[in-house]
Amino acid sequence: MKRIFSVFATILFVSCVTIPEVQRNASFVDFTKYPDFYMSQAPTVDFKFMPLGTITAFVRCGREQGKKTRNKYSTGSYLDGTIKIVRMQPEDAIDELYRKSKEIGANGVLNIKLEFLPSNSEMGINNGWIISGMAIKR
């Protein structure tokens, strides 16, 4: 009897599991967006440069700055129809890396690594990107 109950409980539990749909995604990150700035995933190049140091930039999805979220369980581009959720893309990380690099006097970044940061929220809306590399001056 105990075995029958165990089998029945297992079948009941497994039948309640929701299996997510297949997701497919591809993206292209354009390093030529800034013609005055050299970007490469290669660790070495065939020209002379001065290494300035490691540089890292980080972007994460979230609500627009200065606005408060009223309903943390809503999903979509707007929460409660009024709070805009800004979704970050790899290009946003590149833009931030470029901005910070120019700020420190670099005119290039080598050995670029771009990583996806999964959401740390139950809503799944605050994923992000981290990008790093070696800032250089040509």
> How confident is the model over 71-130, as pLDDT tens digits?
444 444 555 556 667 788 899 999 999 999 999 999 999 999 999 988 776 666 678 899
- Which of 20-29, 82-91, 126-135 is most confident? 126-135
The answer to whether residue 6 sits within a structural domain is: no
**Domain at 42, CATH number:** 3.30.110.70
The answer to whether residue 79 sits within a structural domain is: no
Residues 6+ apart with CB under 8 A from 26: none
Q: Please report the pLDDT score of residue 76 as a whole number.
A: 47
Look at residue 69 and tell me whether its pLDDT is greater than 80. no
Residues 6+ apart with CB under 8 A from 20: none
The answer to whether residue 77 sits within a structural domain is: no
Cβ atoms of 39 and 95 within 8 Å: the answer is no
Distance separating alpha carbons of residues 25 and 51, to the nearest angstrom: 35
Q: Total structural domains in the chain?
A: 1
Mean pLDDT, the chain, whole residue set = 80
Look at residue 137 and tell me whether its pLDDT is greater than 50. yes
SS3 11: helix
Q: Look at the block and give the residue holding tokens 């109950």.
A: 5
CA 108 to chain centre: 22
The answer to whether residue 37 sits within a structural domain is: yes
The answer to whether residue 92 sits within a structural domain is: yes
Name the residue with higher pLDDT: 61 or 120.
61
The answer to whether residue 73 sits within a structural domain is: no
What length is written for the chain?
A: 138
The answer to whether residue 48 sits within a structural domain is: yes
Domain housing 55: 25-61+88-137
Q: Please report the pLDDT score of residue 89 as a whole number.
A: 87
Q: What pTM was computed for the model?
A: 0.70
Look at residue 67 and tell me whether its pLDDT is greater than 70. no
SS3 22: coil
